[in-house]
Structure 1
Amino acid sequence: MNQHNGFNKQISHSKNSEKALENEFVFFGKFDSVKFNDNINWNYKHNHARATYQVYLHCLHMVRYLTNSYLVKNEDKYIEKAKEVIVEWLNSEDNQSFDTKNSAWKDHSAASRMKNIVYFQTNVPEKFKLENSIFEKTIKKHCEFLAMKEHYSENNHGMMSDEALLFLSNFITDKDTARVFQEKATLRMERIIYKLFSSKSYNLENSPEYHRLTQNLSSRFIRLIDMMDLEFDATCRKIIEKSFLNNRKIVKPDLSYPLIGDTGLNIASFEKNYENFIDYQAGLAIINTKNIKDLSKSTWFSFKSGYLLTSHKHHDDLSINYYYEGEDILIDSGKYTYDRRNPKRTFISSPQGHSTIYKMHEKYSLTDVVYDIEKMRINFVYENDEYIHLAGINHLFENIKIFRDIIYFEEYGFLVIDRYSSNERQFMGQNYNLHPDIEVSAEGENEFILKTKNGKLLRLQEHTKRTLNKYYTIEDENRGFYSEKFNVLLNTHQIEFRKNNLESTFITSLFDDNKSKINAVKLNDNTLEFNLNNYIRQINLQRT
């Protein structure tokens, strides 16, 4: 059980422990350190990530790294400080009630905190341990909280609660009570796996990062079930086993996970699978194009539209990302922070933070998945020997219907056809979120040359009449940023095409300028016609 809870031969002394001795704490990872003059302020509010810092403060991760420093250096000062923090938390009036206004009793904080206290209690000499009566009372209170329906969320936080509840049940002295907690944790975890994963075993929380997180939480739970010799649903086991295969299809050719939804930059260490990944339930299509001669020059394209859960979702529907021959061209916005009051977070999660179409300065409501699935989704992904046709809709903007078709040529680029209609004039934008390394130069009306870091030239061109454009440079304070790491903003730039009509169409192409030439682009009713490399094509679009 101690190994399951994180004890191993690789534990190390942390510089954070030295800070903690001076009452300066790093709550988690690379968070800012927070200095307290005397006692810890359990109601502490960080200046730009208030909710996140509150939760991680109450996780008491400092107890774990102080315990590890003691185990490595064998100096009592670390374990004395760890116990001081635990006792201070237990005795604080701010932390007693499940209904406290701080984050003491949130699913995430309660699950992590008690596991950290158990880690302390398991690994320190007897003279430093909490008294048995206090420890048992604390364990039972945490288990009761984690088992309560009103404090349980059917998302990744619920998985944290279930894994913690199952683990902590091993430290409940009354075996009947422990068995009740074990049964509850097991039944809830089985239910939540069926709910959180699609029929293709992809997590439905709108983020590759949370796909990985729920995989790992589920896997930890299943390993613990096996350690405790308990039964667990065989289909759930297979869902999680299969989910790991999807990671290889989702990552880009450089093995980075796309920054879709609340996702930070993470690089995988496995071999990529170049099969396409299409999941209509998750609203995600990934098109992989393998360069057999040079894998580093492979290409990747994503299309996102629709949802079944709102967890970690951005207003990114109908958005695209594009990685062409080893270089990012169009990127997603990342997560930055979970604080919805933060204006930068508001932009990053908005339609304007993504390569999609939207009503200017507006976003749509995600209120009823049962009915919204008919109004916003990927309609189809059709593939033949020449191109791939992806189609989706978004009818959730008030009084507007949007249809997006993408005609994707794997070797050299694509066209995006956006049609919208309303019974009143609408100011609409079609946005392209560029990687910061791209150099942009205007060339003609609604036409831009995009130069990559390695010197490739791509031409972005909007082909219809009565279209305006706006280039938001890297210096723009309102539009020029995205995020790869938590609480860290990076500069980038965007190109936005604009129209103001009752109904209209954007037809925009993005092609390798050295491989392709496109002209004579027109739309006749539902049929797109264009000349690409001296070959005229006619393609029927989705019905509006």
Structure 2
Amino acid sequence: MKKLSAIFLAAIMLFFTTIHSFAEVNKEIYLTKRSQVSNDSAAIADRILGGELYVSPTYSFYKPTKKITWKEDPFHSTTWRLYYQSLDTLSFLTNAYEKTNDTKYLLYGLNLIKSFWSVNSNPAKPSDYYTYNAHTIANRTNNLMYFYHYYANSSVATQTNEDYIKNILRLHGSLLNSSKYYDTKTNYGYFQDRALIQFAAYFPEEATSSIWRVNALNRTKAHIKKDFTVDGLHKEHSPQYFDVVMTLIGDINKIANDRDLTNLLLKAQNAFAKLVLSDFSVPRLGDTDFRYLPRPSQYSVLDPEFEYVITKGKSGVQPPLVSNLSNAVAVIRDGWGVNTSSLLFTASNFSTSHKHADDLSFIYSQNGKEIFTDGGKYNYNTSDPYQKYLRTTFAHNVVTIDGKSYPISVSNVGKSKMTNFIDSPESVIITGEHTIYSGVRVYRTIVYLKENKVTLIQDEILSNTSHKTEQIFNIGQGIENSKIDPSTFLLNQSIMFKQHNSSSVKEYFGQKTPIRGFASTVFNSIYPIKQLDFQSSGKNVQYFTSISNNANSVMNFSLNEDSYKIDMSDGTSFNVIKPLGTPYVYNVSDQDKVLKGFTQGGALISVMDGTKLIASGQADLTGNFMISLPLQKAGKKLNIVVTSKNKQYKNSAVTVVLDKTPPSTPTVKTASSKTKIVSGTTEKYISVLAKNGSKTYTTTSDKYGNYQLKILDLKKGFTLSVSAKDSAGNISKAKLVKVN
């Protein structure tokens, strides 16, 4: 009986021990480890114990020469500062304890926390700008929770120190929950919500945990609806951050297990799958380094197409070869797996987040190699000249105007668009355009012939005035290239790249002044690449370019009215109807009797004043049009509607009639040297300019058109020139008057 009792007692003890252990192990799902345990963990931590600072493999160890103040910035890097203030050093120490069970790493980590908190316990008085940055607060919460988890279950833990760390975590939780610190503009908000819901799940006994959990979930769902298109495309212009945000949402949903959040996540996964290239690589758009695909274990749910790409075709459902995501990004593949090619086109311009000057750019890969490449992320140091360069048009496969890139600014958001996407059994046709350069409209048409694996690019640059244009192509690292003739290059020993319109070409490779021909695939690392720059100039510049992926290459590529003519080296020819883009309309004023513009050759043009047709005509073979137009009032909006010759396509543009009519010559009633007054009448509310020699005096007429100027140095016999200037800048004829 005693023996049975002992066995029963042992079983009960084992049962409760198992439950306790299971609970502790399960709590690890609420932890985010910002660094992972590895064979190097102890060696890294030992150097930290030796007084060195270490925050990331991206940066080397740093040995302070004096006691740390938490203001250190040895690499003059905002990223290093963010990691440092995040207490990422603490994560490496916890890694080492997890690997070795040596408590010296925990004790050092505890002292590190106390050192940091001694100068940063008051959010209003941080040691560094990044100390209470939204991203930093989230990261530091992750690191503190990871450390707490192992410290609290170690042999060196004390209740006093546990309470000390929990109090710090409570403050972090309140900051994460606060709208004052919450970031709705960037992906930092997702980091905050993940850290907040993980805290609430790890410490369910806290009075605020249930409230914080609900807030984190609701904010995440609101954030997703703002940051993703209805098709699930992330709007931050970077597949790398698309992946990061999906991981954050997945982590949140592992705890929340929310139906709405699950559906949003599945939609995002499906969109991500449609971005992945044919060789199962992540395209390097915007701020994207070389990146491995996500792991299936990262998610509790998987979209079937997403599962296919992240398992490299081992399971799931194969996505379509041709994808269009929200009329912002299109991907064309000729298969999945080895010996395949991909072309990605982007007109994505939702915001400035992780955006580069890459509107209408493309990337092209063949058999796992980047043939036409993107510049890459490099780093976030905005004072670094290479970082600046890699965000310009020069580092992307686009058209550049007048030797200048354009700024990544809120004012340019939405000025780029994909206007047509046509996927047929024989071909894919994509058209896009942007108006980011002032006074210039840039059009790009891409035609892909599926059976021949040929890509054709037509670029059109239209403006009222002449501009220098550069059609830029960046060749991938290590891609063999040879010049066959001034307009033809052989790439990767198999791709014929040809310019079919007359232009001069300039080649660059790692030029430092000015910077041209560089790219990056790894953070803080840059390398030289070949860059081809085809140059031309004019008001209407056309480039016709072909990329042939087999021995049967393009010999001729031209446009005849609304049809592209493509002649191949084997004697075959193709005709492809070009979709209509937005018509380009030259400036028209209240003095003009002719409306000029450019569209598809042979297109029919209707000029509408509201619903009334006021003029019509047809473009010539090359697309130019001149239409007789009745004189129009300044400020009137005219809608120019174009219809393709075959009546298949229609597009339109609105132009506003400019004011080019000068005001009437003003009258001058008085010009007295005694009163020093010049007065008269003109149109109401316009500027009046009186010139006396080299001096000009100005005033504004009142609502009746009366004006009065006081000129202190007005003398008898002076001749004044008085004119009127309206809000459009038109200046009247001058009235000459002698001062009496």
Pairwise CA distance, 1:493: 1.2
Match of 1:431 among 472, 475, 491: 472
Give yes or no for contact 1:194–1:236 (8 Å, CA) kept in 2: no
Q: Are residues 211 and 78 of structure 1, via their aligned partners in 2, closer, same or farther at CA, if it must alter by over 3 Å? A: same
Pairwise CA distance, 1:361: 3.5
Give yes or no for contact 1:27–1:56 (8 Å, CA) kept in 2: yes
Q: Are residues 376 and 247 of structure 1, via their aligned partners in 2, closer, same or farther at CA, if it must alter by over 3 Å? A: closer
Match of 1:317 among 320, 342, 359: 359
Pairwise CA distance, 1:389: 0.6
1:179 aligns with: 210
Pairwise CA distance, 1:306: 2.5
What amino acid is the match of 2:352? T
Pairwise CA distance, 1:42: 1.9
Deviations 1:165-188 (A, max 9, x none): 122235668854333322221210
2:424 aligns with: 384
Give yes or no for contact 2:355–2:408 (8 Å, CA) kept in 1: no
Pairwise CA distance, 1:352: 0.9
Match of 1:343 among 376, 385, 409: 385
Give yes or no for contact 1:480–1:493 (8 Å, CA) kept in 2: yes
Pairwise CA distance, 1:63: 1.3
Pairwise CA distance, 1:526: 4.5
Q: Are residues 280 and 426 of structure 1, via their aligned partners in 2, closer, same or farther at CA, if it must alter by over 3 Å? A: farther
For the residue of structure 2 that corresponds to 1:306, the secondary structure is coil
Pairwise CA distance, 1:122: 2.2
Structure 1 residue 69 and structure 2 residue 96: aligned?
A: yes
1:42 aligns with: 70
Higher helix share: 1
1:90 aligns with: 117
Give yes or no for contact 1:42–1:102 (8 Å, CA) kept in 2: no
Match of 1:509 among 528, 532, 546: 546
Give yes or no for contact 1:482–1:490 (8 Å, CA) kept in 2: yes
Match of 2:535 among 487, 492, 498: 498
Matches of 1:339 and 1:321 in 2, distance apart?
25
1:265 aligns with: 290
Give yes or no for contact 2:377–2:520 (8 Å, CA) kept in 1: yes
Structure 1 residue 412 and structure 2 residue 453: aligned?
A: yes
Structure with larger Rg: 2
Q: Are residues 40 and 75 of structure 1, via their aligned partners in 2, closer, same or farther at CA, if it must alter by over 3 Å? A: same
Pairwise CA distance, 1:538: 4.6
Deviations 1:59-114 (A, max 9, x none): 11221221232243233321221112111100125974266643111112111112
Matches of 2:53 and 2:327 in 1, distance apart?
39
Match of 2:522 among 485, 495, 498: 485
Give yes or no for contact 2:375–2:391 (8 Å, CA) kept in 1: yes
Pairwise CA distance, 1:28: 2.1
Pairwise CA distance, 1:372: 4.3
Pairwise CA distance, 1:199: 1.8
2:375 aligns with: 333
Give yes or no for contact 1:248–1:270 (8 Å, CA) kept in 2: no
Q: Are residues 180 and 148 of structure 1, via their aligned partners in 2, closer, same or farther at CA, if it must alter by over 3 Å? A: same
Q: What root-mean-square deviation, in Å, do the aligned CA atoms of Structure 1 and Structure 2 show?
A: 2.6
2:485 aligns with: 444
Give yes or no for contact 1:27–1:53 (8 Å, CA) kept in 2: yes
Mean CA deviation greater in 168-177 or 238-247: 168-177
Matches of 1:112 and 1:333 in 2, distance apart?
28
Matches of 1:174 and 1:94 in 2, distance apart?
24
1:305 aligns with: 347
Q: Are residues 99 and 57 of structure 1, via their aligned partners in 2, closer, same or farther at CA, if it must alter by over 3 Å? A: closer
What amino acid is the match of 2:30? H
Matches of 1:407 and 1:222 in 2, distance apart?
41
Deviations 1:401-437 (A, max 9, x none): 0110011123432111111111222121111111122
Structure 1 residue 197 and structure 2 residue 228: aligned?
A: yes
Structure 1 residue 5 and structure 2 residue 31: aligned?
A: yes
Pairwise CA distance, 1:117: 1.5
Matches of 1:33 and 1:417 in 2, distance apart?
50
2:587 aligns with: none
For the residue of structure 2 that corresponds to 1:30, the secondary structure is coil
Pairwise CA distance, 1:539: 2.6
Mean CA deviation greater in 391-400 or 73-82: 73-82
Matches of 1:537 and 1:434 in 2, distance apart?
29
Deviations 1:146-182 (A, max 9, x none): 2232322223210000111122235668854333322
Aligned runs of 1:364-403 on 2, under 5 Å?
A: 364-368=406-410, 372-373=413-414, 375-403=415-443
2:505 aligns with: 469
Pairwise CA distance, 1:359: 1.4
Mean CA deviation greater in 489-498 or 355-364: 355-364
Matches of 1:284 and 1:167 in 2, distance apart?
34
Give yes or no for contact 2:340–2:367 (8 Å, CA) kept in 1: yes
Give yes or no for contact 1:481–1:490 (8 Å, CA) kept in 2: yes
Matches of 2:247 and 2:43 in 1, distance apart?
27
Mean CA deviation greater in 301-310 or 34-43: 34-43
Q: Which runs of 4+ in 1 moved over 6 A?
A: 171-174
Q: Are residues 289 and 82 of structure 1, via their aligned partners in 2, closer, same or farther at CA, if it must alter by over 3 Å? A: same
1:229 aligns with: none
Matches of 1:128 and 1:66 in 2, distance apart?
16
Pairwise CA distance, 1:26: 2.1
For the residue of structure 2 that corresponds to 1:143, the secondary structure is helix
What amino acid is the match of 1:207? S
Deviations 1:333-383 (A, max 9, x none): 2111022222111111111101111214323345458x843x311112112
For the residue of structure 1 that corresponds to 2:208, the secondary structure is helix
Tell me: higher relative CO, structure 1 or 2? Use CA pairs within 8 A at least 6 residues apart.
1
Q: Are residues 40 and 512 of structure 1, via their aligned partners in 2, closer, same or farther at CA, if it must alter by over 3 Å? A: same
2:169 aligns with: 139
Count matched residues.
525
2:256 aligns with: 225
Match of 1:530 among 552, 566, 578: 566
Q: Are residues 505 and 98 of structure 1, via their aligned partners in 2, closer, same or farther at CA, if it must alter by over 3 Å? A: farther
Pairwise CA distance, 1:541: 4.1
What amino acid is the match of 1:515? N
1:542 aligns with: 580
Matches of 2:324 and 2:121 in 1, distance apart?
45
Give yes or no for contact 2:496–2:553 (8 Å, CA) kept in 1: no
Matches of 2:287 and 2:29 in 1, distance apart?
30
Give yes or no for contact 1:429–1:499 (8 Å, CA) kept in 2: yes
Q: Are residues 26 and 506 of structure 1, via their aligned partners in 2, closer, same or farther at CA, if it must alter by over 3 Å? A: same
What amino acid is the match of 1:468? S
Give the alignment's TM-score, normalised by structure 1. 0.89
Give yes or no for contact 1:417–1:508 (8 Å, CA) kept in 2: yes
Q: Are residues 235 and 171 of structure 1, via their aligned partners in 2, closer, same or farther at CA, if it must alter by over 3 Å? A: closer
Mean CA deviation greater in 19-28 or 312-321: 19-28
Aligned runs of 1:247-286 on 2, under 5 Å?
A: 247-268=272-293, 270-272=311-313, 273-276=318-321, 278-281=323-326, 283-286=328-331
Mean CA deviation greater in 337-346 or 194-203: 194-203
Matches of 1:72 and 1:512 in 2, distance apart?
50
Give yes or no for contact 1:284–1:304 (8 Å, CA) kept in 2: yes
What amino acid is the match of 2:81? Q
Pairwise CA distance, 1:301: 0.8
2:60 aligns with: 32
Deviations 1:7-50 (A, max 9, x none): 8xx945342101101121221243322222233342222436x1
Structure 1 residue 165 and structure 2 residue 171: aligned?
A: no
